Chain A
Amino acid sequence: MASAAAPASSEEAVKAAKVLMVGAGGIGCELLKTLALSGFSDIHVIDLDTIEVSNLNRQFLFRKSHVGQSKAHVARDAILKFRPNINIESHHANVKDAQFNVDFFKQFNVVLNGLDNLDARRHVNRLCLAAEVPLVESGTTGFLGQVTVHVKGKTECYECQPKPIPKSYPVCTITSTPSKFVHCIVWAKELLFAKLFGDKNQDNDLNVHSKDGSSSKLDVFERDVDEDLDQYAQRIYDHVFGYNIEVALENEETWKNRRRPNPVYIRDTLPEAVKQNGSSWDCSNDHEEPSAMASLGLTNPQEIWTLAENSRVLLEAFKLFFEKREKEIGNLVFDKDDQLAVEFVTAAANIRAHSFGIPLHSLFEAKGVAGNIVHAVATTNAIIAGLIVIEAIKVLQDDYKNYRMTYCLEHPTKKLLLMPVEPFEPNPSCYVCSETPLLLDVNTKVTKLKEVIDKIIKSKLGMNLPLVMIGSTLVFEDGDGLEEDEAANYALNLEKVLAELPAPVINGTKLTVEDFQQELSCSINIKHREEFDEEKEPDGMVLSGWSAPVEKQINSNGENKSAASSSSARATDDTVEDPSKPGMKRKLDELLETKENCDASSSAQVVEDDDDCTMLDGNPALIKKKRLQ
């Protein structure tokens, strides 16, 4: 906790400060460097990640020789090389672990976030509120970035403004009516790849029935005994790109107002492959990672392949999995750093895209979509790190009038690349930092407790280890230290529909939901409803009462661990607004609007001088929320 008397100077404040840095990646490396150079001497760092090659273009504390090692530990060692006398404690751990409880957070004067996912950010926000420690948040994507300050009671908490949630697509769009490349990627990744190489026990929406019921198999994706690999590959190709499309075309209704897809068969795209049998053209040696591109002599990941090339890549990748990585089949999960998987998904997505008249993409682009890759450069991180330290120093001096939320833009607006804005007061209807009951529309006769916990409590409300009570009855608890019979009881409750729980949940019932670690408690009032729109309300339940999140197409890093439906996806799109910039568009519009209006107003304090940094406080009448006093 901060010392009782406010420090005299920024130098003293910095010297005395104990700081927690969460994340030692892009922002973290720059931040740790800046903290060290600025005189901070007592720093804790938490990061669960290990170093990868693609980090090295900006996470400059790391070297190629460090690949695979802990970011937190290596960052610490690198800083000590030029500042041997400061104290840095590094934790190679998940900030959501139980060890980082409220008491842990209480020891710090300020917490600095350099995270890359919404989930962890929300968790840290709650702990900072519970521990009453100020939080300086930040995020970057390419040339964009921002730094925000959150002090309990004085400013909005991180969750006062709703954050865009990861985009998910309706199942039918993925399985039947794709219109964008991302839909094809999701299909290739979560349906085809998962079906062929992933866990066989997982539900999958791919049509498994064969053409004429001629085979005795239930599942056409299963390889026949002694079936030749080439033949197997071609059979699958024809099934998913040919037969399944023909089946879809039979439903006239679907295509009334839509472009009809073209079935694609191997005999048309690669006539020579049909005649060929036996071994593949593979000439890569066993030491190298198997790659269809390498086998086929395709060297440029930026190139957009033809339909024929995509088909060759697909068949080759398919065969390489079976020939070289057989042991992994049945356990594979798509990984953007798995070259063969990326090749497979790119090719499959492209062939499907071709069928549906959607433009094809290069492996490079497809990988970005499939892997939710965030584009990044060193310079933005360096700028943001500098701003974080500036705000941190203000926080340490309790200089609340000067706290600023700073947005780093790609192109100057009103001649500013850095746009500082005063923080808003806390949102009185924020369920995290203010006491506000929520409302859940749900069919209590049909929906299981498990679904509410996964889709609402863990996912939307971001609770980690929730506890659910109805009146005084505890119906669910998560965490270690549960008695066997308790755990069994909760397991039973999970499978029950709400209306049939030991304390029945019906219209008007109030649920109390808590997470002890986050010290967060909230009430959810239940409203029973039977009809839900499949497209607009795919979850079959709707949470409101809190400013509902706006679903936008985003480039997301949200690690949503709840059991995703096979159609859920987080993917890049051409118009990107990233989650690291919560409500950014709206706020900026507001700001620009007020600036415009202020120029005309007599109470404006605008200095039209290029040399000065123009910072507007805005006409209070025009701003909806109260600024910090």
Chain B
Amino acid sequence: MGGDRGTEEELTAQETALYDRQIRVWGVDAQKRLSKAHVLVCGVNGTTIEFCKNIVLAGVGSLSLMDDHIVTEDDLSANFLIPHDVCMHGVSSRAEACCESLKDFNPMVRVAVAIGDPSLIDEGFVDRFDIIVVSCASLKTKLFINDNCRKRSKHIAFYSVECKDSCGEIFVDLQNHSYLQKKPGGEPEQQELTYASLQVWKFDLIFL
């Protein structure tokens, strides 16, 4: 994973003060790992901006937004990150419009616009990230990105999300994921999960 802090480095006083309440939920180690993680979000919509808000507040290492669609009236109706300035409308990309607000939520997180087309991002590009979230993209694009994530030696987590009216869907691919399971009154146990790729999930698995 990329990152600026050594594994032994403690959280700064500023981080401890800001993240106090959530450290009491997931612990210092998780907070440290979070602060070293790099996230890419392809597709800015109501759902992904909720995610952006939450991950930035939580103190992720960096967040990159990829969406060069120009902001329209429609976007303003579902997006609380875009201020009502006239200059945004018709001029900025959705990624640009959201960036500043997100930086504001947590100055300790690097938030930036990623220029590019999700359907064209290559292996080398995905390698910069630990987590990629994709929305408002074609199945073909999602398959392509998921495939690239799986090609790398480091585990890049892949999420695809879509919402429509009162329905929503999340697809998760953590590849081979190992974690520690807390056991009440005992030692934590190592667990392993194997996720199917989007390709397998959509086309190869047979449902009874």
Residue B21 contacts which of A60, A143, A375 (CB distance < 8 angstroms)? A375
In the complex, given contacts A60-B57, A83-B84, what are 9 additional A-B residue pairs having Cβ atoms less than 8 angstroms apart? Answer: A53-B17, A57-B18, A57-B20, A81-B83, A82-B76, A82-B79, A82-B84, A301-B16, A378-B58
How far apart are the CA atoms of A331 and B185 in the complex, in Å?
42
Given contacts A299-B10, A377-B25, contact A53 B54 (CB under 8 A): no
Whole-angstrom distance between the Cβ of B31 and the nearest chain A Cβ: 10
Set of chain A residues within 8 Å of B21, measured between Cβ atoms: 54, 57-58, 373-377
Set of chain B residues within 8 Å of A299, measured between Cβ atoms: 10
Contact with A along B48-80 (1 / 0, CB 8 A): 001001100111000000000000000011111
Asked if B25 and A375 sit within 8 Å, CB to CB, the answer is: yes
Smallest CB gap from B21: residue in A = A376
Given contacts A36-B80, A142-B25, contact A377 B58 (CB under 8 A): yes
Set of chain A residues within 8 Å of B25, measured between Cβ atoms: 142-143, 375-377
Q: Answer yes or no: B22 CB below 8 A from chain A CBs.
A: yes
Q: Answer yes or no: A300 CB below 8 A from chain B CBs.
A: yes
Residue B22 contacts which of A36, A82, A84, A377 (CB distance < 8 angstroms)? A377
B contact patch SS: helix
Q: Answer yes or no: A368 CB below 8 A from chain B CBs.
A: yes
Set of chain A residues within 8 Å of B57, measured between Cβ atoms: 56-58, 60, 378
Set of chain B residues within 8 Å of A373, measured between Cβ atoms: 20-21, 24
Q: Answer yes or no: A430 CB below 8 A from chain B CBs.
A: no
Asked if B104 and A63 sit within 8 Å, CB to CB, the answer is: yes
Whole-angstrom distance between the Cβ of B108 and the nearest chain A Cβ: 11
Asked if A82 and B58 sit within 8 Å, CB to CB, the answer is: no
Set of chain B residues within 8 Å of A63, measured between Cβ atoms: 104
Whole-angstrom distance between the Cβ of B17 and the nearest chain A Cβ: 5
Smallest CB gap from B166: residue in A = A390
How far apart are the CA atoms of A302 and B54 in the complex, in Å?
25
How far apart are the CA atoms of A373 and B107 in the complex, in Å?
25
Set of chain B residues within 8 Å of A33, measured between Cβ atoms: 80
Whole-angstrom distance between the Cβ of A551 and the nearest chain B Cβ: 23
Whole-angstrom distance between the Cβ of A102 and the nearest chain B Cβ: 34
Whole-angstrom distance between the Cβ of A323 and the nearest chain B Cβ: 23
Set of chain A residues within 8 Å of B28, measured between Cβ atoms: 302
How far apart are the CA atoms of A374 and B25 in the complex, in Å?
9
Q: Answer yes or no: A37 CB below 8 A from chain B CBs.
A: yes
Whole-angstrom distance between the Cβ of A144 and the nearest chain B Cβ: 10
Contact with B along A361-379 (1 / 0, CB 8 A): 0001000100001111111
**Which 7 pairs across A and B sit closest by C-beta, in order of nearness?**
A375-B24, A376-B21, A375-B25, A142-B25, A378-B57, A377-B22, A54-B20
Contact with A along B4-36 (1 / 0, CB 8 A): 000000100000111111111110100000000
Residue A375 contacts which of B17, B22, B59, B83 (CB distance < 8 angstroms)? B22
How far apart are the CA atoms of A377 and B46 in the complex, in Å?
20
Asked if A56 and B10 sit within 8 Å, CB to CB, the answer is: no
Q: Answer yes or no: A382 CB below 8 A from chain B CBs.
A: yes
Instruction: State which residues 63-93 of A face B: CB under 8 Å.
Output: 63-64, 81-84
Set of chain A residues within 8 Å of B50, measured between Cβ atoms: 382
How far apart are the CA atoms of A299 and B76 in the complex, in Å?
46
How far apart are the CA atoms of A60 and B81 in the complex, in Å?
11
Contact with B along A161-177 (1 / 0, CB 8 A): 00000000000000000
**What are 21 of the A-B contact pairs (CB < 8 Å)?**
A36-B80, A54-B17, A56-B18, A56-B57, A57-B20, A57-B21, A60-B53, A64-B107, A82-B79, A82-B84, A84-B84, A373-B20, A373-B21, A375-B25, A377-B21, A377-B25, A377-B26, A377-B58, A378-B53, A378-B54, A379-B54
Q: Answer yes or no: B82 CB below 8 A from chain A CBs.
A: yes
Asked if B16 and A57 sit within 8 Å, CB to CB, the answer is: no
Smallest CB gap from B104: residue in A = A63
How far apart are the CA atoms of A374 and B24 in the complex, in Å?
8
Asked if B54 and A382 sit within 8 Å, CB to CB, the answer is: yes
Q: Answer yes or no: B195 CB below 8 A from chain A CBs.
A: no
* Interface size, A (range): 20 to 34
Set of chain A residues within 8 Å of B18, measured between Cβ atoms: 53-54, 56-57
Q: Answer yes or no: B201 CB below 8 A from chain A CBs.
A: no
Whole-angstrom distance between the Cβ of A613 and the nearest chain B Cβ: 11
Set of chain B residues within 8 Å of A37, measured between Cβ atoms: 46, 77-78, 80
How far apart are the CA atoms of A82 and B24 in the complex, in Å?
32
Set of chain B residues within 8 Å of A377, measured between Cβ atoms: 21-22, 25-26, 58
Q: Answer yes or no: B171 CB below 8 A from chain A CBs.
A: no
Set of chain A residues within 8 Å of B23, measured between Cβ atoms: 364
Set of chain B residues within 8 Å of A376, measured between Cβ atoms: 21-22, 24-25
Asked if B82 and A82 sit within 8 Å, CB to CB, the answer is: yes
How far apart are the CA atoms of A227 and B54 in the complex, in Å?
55
Whole-angstrom distance between the Cβ of A129 and the nearest chain B Cβ: 31
Set of chain B residues within 8 Å of A54, measured between Cβ atoms: 17-18, 20-21
How far apart are the CA atoms of A36 and B78 in the complex, in Å?
10
Set of chain A residues within 8 Å of B58, measured between Cβ atoms: 57, 377-378
Smallest CB gap from B79: residue in A = A82
Which of B17, B20, B21, B23 has its CB near the most chain A CB atoms (within 10 A)?
B21
Whole-angstrom distance between the Cβ of A572 and the nearest chain B Cβ: 9
How far apart are the CA atoms of A377 and B20 in the complex, in Å?
10
How far apart are the CA atoms of A374 and B22 in the complex, in Å?
10
Whole-angstrom distance between the Cβ of B149 and the nearest chain A Cβ: 23
Which of A53, A54, A56, A378 has its CB near the most chain B CB atoms (within 10 A)?
A378
Set of chain A residues within 8 Å of B22, measured between Cβ atoms: 57-58, 375-378
Set of chain B residues within 8 Å of A56, measured between Cβ atoms: 18, 57, 106
Set of chain A residues within 8 Å of B78, measured between Cβ atoms: 37
How far apart are the CA atoms of A36 and B79 in the complex, in Å?
11
Smallest CB gap from A34: residue in B = B80
How far apart are the CA atoms of A364 and B53 in the complex, in Å?
27
Asked if A82 and B53 sit within 8 Å, CB to CB, the answer is: no
How far apart are the CA atoms of A449 and B18 in the complex, in Å?
46
Contact with B along A137-177 (1 / 0, CB 8 A): 00000110000000000000000000000000000000000
How far apart are the CA atoms of A56 and B17 in the complex, in Å?
10
How far apart are the CA atoms of A63 and B26 in the complex, in Å?
23
Which of B18, B19, B22, B84 has its CB near the most chain A CB atoms (within 10 A)?
B22
Smallest CB gap from A373: residue in B = B24
How far apart are the CA atoms of A51 and B77 in the complex, in Å?
28
How far apart are the CA atoms of A378 and B10 in the complex, in Å?
23
Contact with A along B102-124 (1 / 0, CB 8 A): 00111100000000000000000
How far apart are the CA atoms of A483 and B20 in the complex, in Å?
49
Asked if B80 and A57 sit within 8 Å, CB to CB, the answer is: no
Whole-angstrom distance between the Cβ of A402 and the nearest chain B Cβ: 13
Set of chain B residues within 8 Å of A64, measured between Cβ atoms: 107
Smallest CB gap from A302: residue in B = B28
Instruction: State which residues 136-175 of B face A: CB under 8 Å.
Output: none
Asked if A82 and B83 sit within 8 Å, CB to CB, the answer is: yes
How far apart are the CA atoms of A446 and B93 in the complex, in Å?
76
Whole-angstrom distance between the Cβ of B156 and the nearest chain A Cβ: 22
How far apart are the CA atoms of A83 and B81 in the complex, in Å?
11
Set of chain A residues within 8 Å of B24, measured between Cβ atoms: 142, 368, 373, 375-376
How far apart are the CA atoms of A59 and B57 in the complex, in Å?
9
How far apart are the CA atoms of A479 and B106 in the complex, in Å?
45
How far apart are the CA atoms of A364 and B105 in the complex, in Å?
25
Instruction: State which residues 285-342 of A face B: CB under 8 Å.
Output: 299-302
Set of chain A residues within 8 Å of B59, measured between Cβ atoms: 57
